[in-house]
């Protein structure tokens, strides 16, 4: 596992160096990082602007002058980030913070609290969507080592300038407050990003589920989607004890459309039939493509007479329709087999009965409705 991490880090590092100076377009995948980093650079600029009078008041000239450099660095980082050089901007900001923390510990000691800014770099680095995990872990390790190194150094070396305990306490509280504000800001955007990613994942899952249950040609439910609809209707029957009807319908002589006019015509017929049946059915009825040119119609809370009426209405509507495909007119008809689910038999048996009645209709000359009693 350690070997894999090292190999990944090496690979990321080789691709990382050239990428520092390349422009990264602001797209949906990194727009949030662009906003977060831009605001972070502005906040960093303002914080260092406040440090100038504070260090001047403390009498720490070296830090007063360096904060002028810090302001310049954050201004450059902000401009580069606006020009889509996100990686270079982050490297400049991270370098400035590292030097600033080191110089502050050297100048006034550990208790001034300037080391805490290193903590804010870790989440910002991990928020970068472009860098690989090898680079992110490597930079975070560097900040950790620097953090510990500064602490070790401060334990064995006196600061350049000895400030009073009150000044150091004030500095520590100010720096801690600034860092907590930065971390709260970054956490807020992390939360937004996580929620957005979760919503996108759920949306993708829902879309996949719909596609898995939808016939791509007719946009009707496929066999899987239709079985789910039947299962729901069986559950409702178990609660209400109200029967429902299953109708199997098959396009008569469908093969001739494919043989004479091509599969495009066959597809056109299937789409036309599907749309026609949908317009006849109620909103709570269900139609699915059962297979090939066969459709299954599910009529909730419908007994035999109602099912026969609906099937006849569909049959007449299709028989009266004239299809025009590439300037050629054709007639279309369907044969229907009806079965009623009343709980006495399984759903599979009910569908099988509808299929038997459909077969009887084909034997009787097609273009007809065969009820359950036949």
Residues designated catalytic: 293
Contact 105, 153 (CB under 8 A): yes
DSSP 366: S
What is the rounded distance in angstroms from the CA atom of residue 146 to the CA atom of residue 139? Answer: 10
How many residues are given for the chain?
A: 374
CA neighbor of 215 nearest in space, from 318, 280, 296, 290 = 290
Tokens 């996949």 locate to 208
What is the rounded distance in angstroms from the CA atom of residue 312 to the CA atom of residue 77? Answer: 74
Contact 63, 116 (CB under 8 A): no
What is the rounded distance in angstroms from the CA atom of residue 286 to the CA atom of residue 107? Answer: 78
The gap between the terminal CA atoms of the chain, to the nearest Å, is 70
Alpha-helical runs (H) found in the chain: 2-20, 31-58, 61-82, 86-108, 117-126, 133-156, 165-212, 223-240, 254-261, 263-280, 304-319, 347-363
CA neighbor of 92 nearest in space, from 25, 140, 41, 150 = 41
Contact 102, 66 (CB under 8 A): no
Crossing angle between the packed helical segments 86-108 and 117-126, to the nearest 10 degrees: 160
Contact 296, 351 (CB under 8 A): yes
In this structure, the strands spanning 244-251 and 294-299 are antiparallel
Crossing angle between the packed helical segments 31-58 and 117-126, to the nearest 10 degrees: 170
Tokens 């560097």 locate to 142
Tokens 């050089």 locate to 85
């Amino acid at each position: 596992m350690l070997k894999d991490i090292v190999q990944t880090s090496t690979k990321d590092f080789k691709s990382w160096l050239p990428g520092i100076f390349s422009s990264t377009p602001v797209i949906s995948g990194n727009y949030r990082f662009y906003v977060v980093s831009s605001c972070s650079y502005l906040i960093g600029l303002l914080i260092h602007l406040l440090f100038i009078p504070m260090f001047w008041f403390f009498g720490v000239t070296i830090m007063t002058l360096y904060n002028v450099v810090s302001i310049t660095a954050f201004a450059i980082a902000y401009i580069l980030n606006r020009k889509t050089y996100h990686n270079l901007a982050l490297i400049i900001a991270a370098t400035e913070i590292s030097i600033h923390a080191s110089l502050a510990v050297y100048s006034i000691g550990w208790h001034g609290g300037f080391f805490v800014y290193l903590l804010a770099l870790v989440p910002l680095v991990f928020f970068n969507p472009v860098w690989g995990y090898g680079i992110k872990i490597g930079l975070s390790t560097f900040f950790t080592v620097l953090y510990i190194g500064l602490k070790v150094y401060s334990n064995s070396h006196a600061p350049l300038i000895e400030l009073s305990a009150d000044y150091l306490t004030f500095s520590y509280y100010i720096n801690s407050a600034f860092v907590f504000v930065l971390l709260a800001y970054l956490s807020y955007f992390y939360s937004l990003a996580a929620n957005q990613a979760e919503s996108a994942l759920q949306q993708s899952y829902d879309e996949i589920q719909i596609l898995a249950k939808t016939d791509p040609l007719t946009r009707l439910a496929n066999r899987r989607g239709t079985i789910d609809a039947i299962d729901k209707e069986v559950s409702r029957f178990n609660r209400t004890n109200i029967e429902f009807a299953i109708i199997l319908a098959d396009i008569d002589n469908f093969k001739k459309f494919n043989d004479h006019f091509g599969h495009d015509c066959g597809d056109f017929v299937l789409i036309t039939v599907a749309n026609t049946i949908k317009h006849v059915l109620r909103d709570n009825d269900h139609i699915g493509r059962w297979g090939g040119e066969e459709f299954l119609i599910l009529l909730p809370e419908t007994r035999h007479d109602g099912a026969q009426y609906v099937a006849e209405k569909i049959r007449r509507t299709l028989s009266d329709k004239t299809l025009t495909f590439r300037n050629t007119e054709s007639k279309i008809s369907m044969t229907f087999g009806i079965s009623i689910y009343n709980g006495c038999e399984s759903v599979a048996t009910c569908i099988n009965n509808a299929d038997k009645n459909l077969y009887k209709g084909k034997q009787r000359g097609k273009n007809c409705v065969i009820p359950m009693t036949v």
